[in-house]
Structure formats: C-alpha cells, structure tokens
Structure 1
Amino acid sequence: MIPPPDNSTSSISSKNVPFDTRQLSTLVAMESPEAVHNEVLHILRLINTAFDAAPLSRIFSFTVDLYEGKLQEYRACNTHYHNLRHITDTYLAMARLLHGALLSGENFSNREIFLGLTGALMHDSGMIQESCDSEGTGAKYTQEHVQLSMDFVTKHAADLHLNDQEITDLRTMIQGTDLMVDFSSINFSSSTVELLGKTLGTADLIAQMADRTYLEKLLFLYHEFQEAEVGNYKNEVDFLHQTLNFFEISATRFNETLDNICRHMVPHFKVRWGINENLYIHSLENQRKFLEKILANKNISIYQELKRSDIVRIVRKKYGNTGLGE
C-alpha cells in the first residue's frame, strides 16, 4: 500500500501563488485533454515518484479516440453536456481526491489508483453510440447509460487491460455514479472498492457543478433530458429553477451518501498549489448564488446573464427556439 507521500518539496507557499490562481478554472487549461492528463500524471508523481503511468496513458488515449470517433465500432460523441470535457473534468477531480485521501491517511495501491482513474474515464461510455446507430444522439440513452457503461467496460476488458475481478470492481464503481441507485445496495467486493466508488461518485458530480460554465451547460443538459424523456420540465428556464433544488439534493449526497469524500480536496490543493481551500466547493457555491440571483431578478433576461463561452448562442443555433423560456 502507498503511504501518504512526503510532498514538502512540491508544496507552493500561498504567498507565492498569484491571486487569480485561487480560481479553480485558472489552475489547468481544462479545455485541453492533454493538459488535463499531464496534470493527472503530475499528481501521480506526487503520490509516488515510481508510479508507472503508461497503462493509464494508454487508456486515456483509448478514451479520447472513443469520444472523437476514431474507433471503428463507435460514432463520435454527439452530446454537448456529457462530452469529452466532462470526462476529463471528472478524471482530474478523481486524481485530486485520491491524492488528498492519501494525504489524509487513506491507503490505495498503485493498481487501485489506476482502477479508480479508469472508472473516471469510462463512467459515461454508455452514451457513445455504436456506428450502426444513426438515430438521434447518445442522449437518448440517459436513463440506462450507467448500465451501458458497465457493459462497455466488460466488452472492452482486453483494451483496458483489466482482469475479471477488476472488471467486476469497475462495474460497481460506475454503478455508484447512478443517482437513481441506492448506494447502500451496491455489492462492492471490499471497503476499499466502496471507497473508490464513493470517490468516483463525488468526482463525477463535483466536476460538473464546479465547472465555471455549469449554468450555461445546463441548457445542453435540458435538451439531453428532453431527448431521453427524462423529467417534466416546461422549458430551459424551468429547468434552471429546478436546478436550485438539485443543489440541495447534491449537498445531501456529498455529505451523507458519499461520506463527505469531497473534504479530501483541501489537502490536495494545499500540497499541490499552496491553497488551503476546497476550490470545488467554492466554485459550486458561487454557481448556486449566481443562479439564485438571476432567477430572483424579474427585471433581467436570464439568457443575457449566462455569458460564458458563447454557449447560449450555440444552444440557440442548434435547437432554435425549442425549449426557450422567459
């Protein structure tokens, strides 16, 4: 097992960290899969300087090829919310949580860390359509995508270089990302695998909600849900209103169901960046407060307040006035 590493030489004094780097979105170029992977590799070296990351790099390349449509069996990802960016966001959040957990006294072997990060890369693979499936988008699989993702890793065990027990464990970890599943009913093979499952469940959710463009991307999620016939939402704005309730539901899931695994972000950021703060929670809270503010103000256009990354324009170009709210 890996003991918590001595990171004294890699810690950056907070006095030397520029103020803007205290914003989560400025630490890593999140729009670049390569930059995210390089940061994960850096974190693995903090965990163990002898960590063999070559197998993980192969799976990362496999994942990018899958989402970009470079595998003959599959179409390129065509969902704008559950896309490659969400996968790499989750991947980095998982690495950060694992590092922080080790610093907090948890123990994982190199192989267990590898398995957890593989889970982050594979957890939404079920939303990728097979090449023979030309109807609609992968969003139509929203309700069953977790089961499909579990089946995907079983089918591609050889590509992932995982043995039968590791596939079984990976399937249960992925199952733990399903918000509709009673987490306590999942048959984890050990307490360590259960901890990995809770860590993946945390990474999946916190990576979405802490994204600086989360509120804008919710417009994409609304349309994914519409295609899958999930929920009963009047329009995009109604979906945003109901998201306020989801913030409360998520807080319960983070703190109770997932045992406040998110707390492990703090030691990670302290060692890696010299910042003694959970930047994910900070960003999530900023998103929640801003959403409350714009929904409460009847004198403004909500769409004019969602300004980041030109997402509103992209949504309107793709969907026209479908789903447009007041």
Structure 2
Amino acid sequence: MRARKLSDLVDAARPDAVLDEILAIIHHVNPAFKDTAIIRLAFLETVRLYKGDFPGYRACNTEYHDLRHTTDTALTITRLIHGAILEGHHLDQRQIVLGLVTALFHDAGYIQKEEEFEGTGAKYTTTHVGRSIAFFEDCAPDLGLSSLEISDGRAMILFTNLSVPPEQIVFEASTGEFMGRMLGAADLLAQLSDRTYLEKLLFLYREFKEAGVGGYSGERHLLEQTVAFYDAVSQRIEATFDRADQYMLRHLTNRWNIRTNLYHKAIENQKQYLKQILEDPDTNHRNHFKRDGIVDIVRLKYGKPH
C-alpha cells in the first residue's frame, strides 16, 4: 500500500473541500463550537474576493499568491490549532475564530481595488501586509469581531511579514502572540508543502520582477536562492515561531492515524528534488516541473526562461 502524501488528505484545489475539512477539524476540537458561521462567512467572502465578486475589488491576478495559497494557509493553521489543543494549550473559541479569519485575510493586500488598473497585485509585494490589515479592519465588524480582537488580528497578520521583528509586535491579549506565531508558521508551511511549490516559483519570479524586489536575474537564480530559503524558513519557524510546526504531527496522528509529519516530508522531498535539478548547470529546469500544467502556462504567457 502506497504511503499517503499530504496532497492525498484533502483536494486543496477545491475550496469547498478545504472548508469542509476546516469545519470537520473544528468539530473535533469542540463539537459544541458556536462560531462556525463566522468561519464559514469569512471563508466564503475570501473566495468571493479572489474570484472578483467582492464589491470594490478586482479578481486576483497574482499567480503565486492566489486563492489556493490562502485556503492552504487557513487549513494549515486549523491543523496546528487542533494539534496545539491536543498538546494541552488552551485556546478559546474566539481565539480560534480570529486565527482563521486572519489566515484567510493575510494576503488580501495583493488584490487590486476596482480603480487600480496598472499591472497586477504583485506590485504591492512590499506593501501587501498593510493593505491586508486594512481589508481585515474593514471586514471585521461585519464578522462580529470586537475592537480588542481587531487589534490582535492586526498584530497576527504582521507575523506574516518577514521584515518585521516579532518583538516589535504588540498584542492586547496574552494568547494573541501564540496564535500570531502559528499564523506565521502556517503561512510558510502552506507555501513550501504545496505539491506545486516548485512549479509556482516560476510565477513568484514574475511577481518579484514586477515589484522590483529580490534582484533575481532569471528563474534559475530564484530557484538557486530557494535552496537557502528552505533553511531560513526552518530557522524562522524554530526560533521566531517557537517551533509551532511541532503541533502538526499530533493533529495528523489524531485525525488521520498518520505518524509522520507530512508537511516536513513534502517540504524535504521538494527541497532534495530542487537540489538535484540544480546540480546540472546546463539543464533546463522547466523540463523537470511536471505538475498541473504550470510550465505550459508559463511558456505560453512569458515565453522561454530568462
């Protein structure tokens, strides 16, 4: 029997399947959970936003920071929350709701407003966190969040900004920082464990190029730097986020009877595959990326590698 992979557990390409799994995990956390309607509403509003059905906003046009990444992040933090509670951490319903809402809105800043026509949302790469916070603040009252929850939610989203020192982030509630660290970890884990992560790096290169950040000379340059980024992420999760990924194994064991951290396994497998590709300086990296037809999309839209 083939060992299960992370991508076997939920069809991450279907937002409805992801929402069903999130709500199923919440039920495992607390069968009497009262605020699932808020989570459902925030999730559905996020889908509307990315699809271009949210008043005042255009559809998502960033191909790396897309709806799939956002729903992956929401599912990942839900799994971490479940694992943390199984490990003895006390997180009440409102804290869980806030963690889910901020996960869903953490990249909303990439979405252009209806009057923003120049380029794509990628041009907001360096400012998207502030824009995401503004979107969260606008939507929070309709979700029934209090002023204290809005303040802590703002701080939680800041944990997804790699350039903000955690010691500068201030929370109203003592448990807010714990949830913020889990959000920061979930954001990174969701990206690197995506089965199409390597393929989507070709999209990320275009986003960075439009934003004028990174100074990458081409796709391969970004891929080469990604090898070091894996190590930087591991260090950040361990040091900055207090090893928040440790709760994943407890969740997987309880929910799926899986005793391997499938996030770590997916990330390590792709890291090793990327290193193998880069060992040959003359190879065309695109020839090694086979998943979801992404290379064909890149070729048609952007042409040959550069």
- Using structure 1 for the length normalisation, give the TM-score: 0.91
| Aligned 1:154-169 pairs, distance under 5 A | 154-169=137-152
Shift of 1:183: 1.2
Question: Which segments of structure 1 move beyond 3 Å, counting only runs of 4 or more?
Answer: none
Aligned counterpart for 2:85 among listed residues 90, 102, 108: 102
The AA in structure 2 aligned to 1:137 is T
* Maintained 8 Å contact 2:102/2:136: no
Higher relative contact order (CA 8 A, sep 6+): 1
The AA in structure 2 aligned to 1:315 is V
Aligned to 1:37: 19
Determine the C-alpha separation between the residues in 2 that align with 1:239 and 1:152. 30
Shift of 1:158: 2.5
Determine the C-alpha separation between the residues in 1 that align with 2:299 and 2:219. 11
Determine the C-alpha separation between the residues in 2 that align with 1:234 and 1:26. 36
5+ residue gaps, structure 2: none
Aligned to 2:42: 59
Aligned to 1:69: 52
Aligned to 1:301: 284
Determine the C-alpha separation between the residues in 1 that align with 2:239 and 2:142. 35
Aligned to 2:135: 152
Give secondary structure in 1 for the equivalent of 2:63: coil
| Aligned 1:91-240 pairs, distance under 5 A | 91-240=74-223
Determine the C-alpha separation between the residues in 2 that align with 1:285 and 1:185. 31
CA deviation map 1:152-192 (0-9, x unaligned): 11122223321211111100000010001111211122331
CA deviation map 1:114-141 (0-9, x unaligned): 1100011000011111001111111100
CA deviation map 1:36-64 (0-9, x unaligned): 00000100010001112111111111111
The AA in structure 2 aligned to 1:248 is D
The AA in structure 1 aligned to 2:232 is I
Give secondary structure in 2 for the equivalent of 1:70: coil
Determine the C-alpha separation between the residues in 2 that align with 1:104 and 1:126. 34
5+ residue gaps, structure 1: 1-17
Give secondary structure in 2 for the equivalent of 1:293: helix
Determine the C-alpha separation between the residues in 1 that align with 2:50 and 2:143. 16
Determine the C-alpha separation between the residues in 1 that align with 2:154 and 2:103. 12
Count matched residues. Answer: 305
Determine the C-alpha separation between the residues in 1 that align with 2:199 and 2:41. 32
The percentage of aligned residue pairs carrying the same residue is: 47
1:262 aligns with 2:257: no
